A = this chain, B = another copy of it.
Amino acid sequence: MNVVPVFNENDAISKGAVQTKENSPKVPFWDNDSLAALLAIELNADLLMLMTDVNGLYTGAPSDPSSKIIHTYCPAIHDPLIKFGQKSGGGRGGMTAKVDAAWLAADAGVTTVIASGKGGDSILQVVSGQLVGTLFSHEGARSFQEQHDRKQAKQKKDKESGASKDAQPASGDETARELAVAARDASRVLQNLSSEEREKILEKVAAELEKHEEQILAENEADVDAAEGKIDDQLMNRLRLKPQKIKQLADGIRSIAKQTEPLRKVLSKMQIADGLVLEKLTSPIGVLLIIFEARPDALPQIAALAIRSGNGLLLKGGKEASRSNALLHKIIVEAVAEAAPSVGKQLISLITTRQGVDDLLKLDDVIDLAIPRGGNALVSHIQHNTRIPVLGHADGICHLYVDARADIEMACSIAVDSKTDYPAACNAVEKILVHSELGRDGRLYQLQTALREAGVTMHGGKRSAKELGLTPCPSDRHEYGTNALTLELVDSMDEAIDHIHANGSSHTECIVTEDEALAEQFLRRVDSACVFHNATTRFADGYRFGLGAEVGISTSRIHARGPVGVEGLLTTKWVMRGKGHTVDHDTSIKYTHKPLPLQ
């Protein structure tokens, strides 16, 4: 029996052994930590916390600035790396004793965290799931073991087939912050490649995706099988990659490759003074965080846009698509590193560590823009829980105003298309405001009939519920997302605009009228990202707008608004060329501020 004096001399318990459950063997404990571990196992505890005087387990001495905290401990990775005070002859195991105790508990199924007992916040932080201390978990160990086994099998296979070295998956001790910094460094290399060089990278990515179609579909199939019965049909639909999808993705990437160079485009040029010229150029944003639910197809699309525009990427995919995402990511980073060794594999990282979305959202100092691709709840959560700028939209409460001078055939056709073309889309119409005059001449009846025949359920607003006897709508600001909408009566376009401003989500609104002057008023006065005259709201889309690949649709009012293409991934940079010009309190310089032709 290994009995060692306790580390903390203040502790009352010093040595002993406990008899756990009736049938279990007598297990030794050698200090307060191991006693705690045994108790936690016995109690089948949800969590064991071992408090110490440092923030967790480090890759070296905690006092050494080059040491990094390990957030998730894997013995197979970390054992050879870590030196945490050798057990001396007399005992005082220190961190080693704590790690042994933690591993004892974790191995028996009790998740354990070693964290600092100083300050007093860490217990609450750990319990609330924040990334403090070092986590030991049985699951982590098992999944690591699986990963390790698979990797070895793969390496063996690759060796046999002569394939390239395996991609380095982000190991548990690389925090998202480090990955973001590495992505920025890699992006600085990438953005200085020529347009042709970045085109070549994308061609390689497209080719490799096609080459690995079979494996990708197999991994995806495994994800789909695992998700069966756990996610709804809509999510399942997004998760599944259809056989022709890989070809489509590769084609899409080739078309992004061929786009004209988005970088270093001269947006303005001005002579500031004699011999001093200022240019404003397009430039990459830097590091983007993309968070997506299901949809593994979003990964290569977004990666391609990032490569074209010179940006680094952190990707956080949904758990349900983890195998598809892991393989897609691996194929892409290997293709990048092969086509452009100077850029390497850290341009795009898939976050697979313990860090959850909320941990990533705190990295506003190293991430420049967050782009959520998923349902309203995800987007809304992200928008409300980060200081990183977010490109996206939570609601899509689009309005259609049918004016007194509307051509009713056109109104019916646009109304039906706006709702039924894809009822769950953010650009589907949720409310039709009808001028009351249409009620008097039978056109309203025609519109209601057309909608009813198209299978649309109509709810009533405050007025129409009374006057037309419609079932009242849930609220004035409701996104149905189904084949249903609210039909409300108004007496004028002014009333319609006020209603839109009060209840809309500033996404897309449309007027149907033959009165051109009135339509121009509507286009000018309605304060939404997209405002249409005599066209379905469903046109509010990056592809239909001719933007090429779509990054998202933004209802934010800064940076990018409405459907966003690759320009949403760009910022600007000012470049000035002089001949030794100084300011000297603006006395000796004569400003000319003369605009110059861009080319």
Chain A residues packing against B (C-beta within 8 Å) = 185, 188, 191-192, 264, 270, 272, 276, 278, 283, 285-286, 368-369, 383-384, 386-387, 389, 407, 409-410, 413-414, 416-417, 421, 501, 512, 519, 523-525, 527-536, 538-540, 544-546, 556-563, 571-586, 591, 593
Select from chain B the residue with minimum beta-carbon distance to A548: B593
User: Is the beta-carbon distance between B536 and A581 smaller than 8 angstroms?
Assistant: yes
User: Is the beta-carbon distance between B524 and A576 smaller than 8 angstroms?
Assistant: no
Cβ–Cβ < 8 Å partners of A185 in chain B: 501
Q: How many copies does the complex hold?
A: 2
Cα distance A383–B527 when bound, in Å? 27
Cα distance A188–B264 when bound, in Å? 36
Cα distance A368–B386 when bound, in Å? 15
User: Is the beta-carbon distance between B561 and A531 smaller than 8 angstroms?
Assistant: no
8 A-B residue pairs with CB within 8 Å: A272-B544, A272-B545, A368-B557, A384-B387, A417-B584, A530-B573, A538-B583, A559-B559
User: Is the beta-carbon distance between B421 and A583 smaller than 8 angstroms?
Assistant: yes
User: Is the beta-carbon distance between B572 and A562 smaller than 8 angstroms?
Assistant: yes
User: Is the beta-carbon distance between A578 and B538 smaller than 8 angstroms?
Assistant: no
Cβ–Cβ < 8 Å partners of A285 in chain B: 557-558
Cβ–Cβ < 8 Å partners of A386 in chain B: 387
User: Is the beta-carbon distance between B544 and A591 smaller than 8 angstroms?
Assistant: yes
Select from chain B the residue with minimum beta-carbon distance to A585: B421
Cα distance A278–B544 when bound, in Å? 10
Cβ–Cβ < 8 Å partners of A529 in chain B: 573-574
Nearest Cβ distance between residue A360 and chain B, in whole angstroms? 16
- Given A558-B571, A583-B544: A577 touches B533 (CB 8 Å cut-off): yes
User: Is the beta-carbon distance between B583 and A534 smaller than 8 angstroms?
Assistant: no
Cβ–Cβ < 8 Å partners of A580 in chain B: 407, 409-410, 413-414, 512, 534-535
Cβ–Cβ < 8 Å partners of A561 in chain B: 283, 571-574
User: Is the beta-carbon distance between A188 and B501 smaller than 8 angstroms?
Assistant: yes
User: Is the beta-carbon distance between A558 and B421 smaller than 8 angstroms?
Assistant: no
Cβ–Cβ < 8 Å partners of A414 in chain B: 580, 582
Contact for A532 among B368, B531, B576, CB less than 8 A: B576
Would you list the 9 A-B pairs with minimal beta carbon distance, nearest first? A535-B578, A417-B582, A546-B593, A410-B580, A538-B583, A559-B559, A558-B559, A530-B574, A532-B576
User: Is the beta-carbon distance between A591 and B534 smaller than 8 angstroms?
Assistant: no
Cα distance A561–B571 when bound, in Å? 7
Cβ–Cβ < 8 Å partners of A501 in chain B: 185, 188
- Given A272-B544, A561-B571: A524 touches B192 (CB 8 Å cut-off): yes
Select from chain B the residue with minimum beta-carbon distance to A264: B524
Cβ–Cβ < 8 Å partners of A270 in chain B: 545-546
Cβ–Cβ < 8 Å partners of A538 in chain B: 582-583
User: Is the beta-carbon distance between A421 and B584 smaller than 8 angstroms?
Assistant: yes
Cβ–Cβ < 8 Å partners of A563 in chain B: 574
Nearest Cβ distance between residue A194 and chain B, in whole angstroms? 11
Cα distance A558–B538 when bound, in Å? 28
Cβ–Cβ < 8 Å partners of A557 in chain B: 285-286, 368-369, 571
Cβ–Cβ < 8 Å partners of A536 in chain B: 581-583
Cα distance A572–B585 when bound, in Å? 36
Contact for A530 among B384, B576, B585, CB less than 8 A: B576
User: Is the beta-carbon distance between B407 and A558 smaller than 8 angstroms?
Assistant: no
Contact for A527 among B188, B523, B533, CB less than 8 A: B188
Select from chain B the residue with minimum beta-carbon distance to A427: B583
Cα distance A389–B584 when bound, in Å? 34
Cβ–Cβ < 8 Å partners of A546 in chain B: 270, 272, 278, 591, 593
Cα distance A582–B192 when bound, in Å? 43
Nearest Cβ distance between residue A174 and chain B, in whole angstroms? 19
Nearest Cβ distance between residue A521 and chain B, in whole angstroms? 8
Cα distance A577–B527 when bound, in Å? 16
Cα distance A286–B557 when bound, in Å? 8
Cα distance A584–B416 when bound, in Å? 9
Select from chain B the residue with minimum beta-carbon distance to A280: B562
Cα distance A560–B570 when bound, in Å? 11
User: Is the beta-carbon distance between A539 and B571 smaller than 8 angstroms?
Assistant: no
Nearest Cβ distance between residue A432 and chain B, in whole angstroms? 15
Select from chain B the residue with minimum beta-carbon distance to A508: B574
Cα distance A584–B536 when bound, in Å? 9
Cβ–Cβ < 8 Å partners of A558 in chain B: 285, 368-369, 389, 558-559, 571
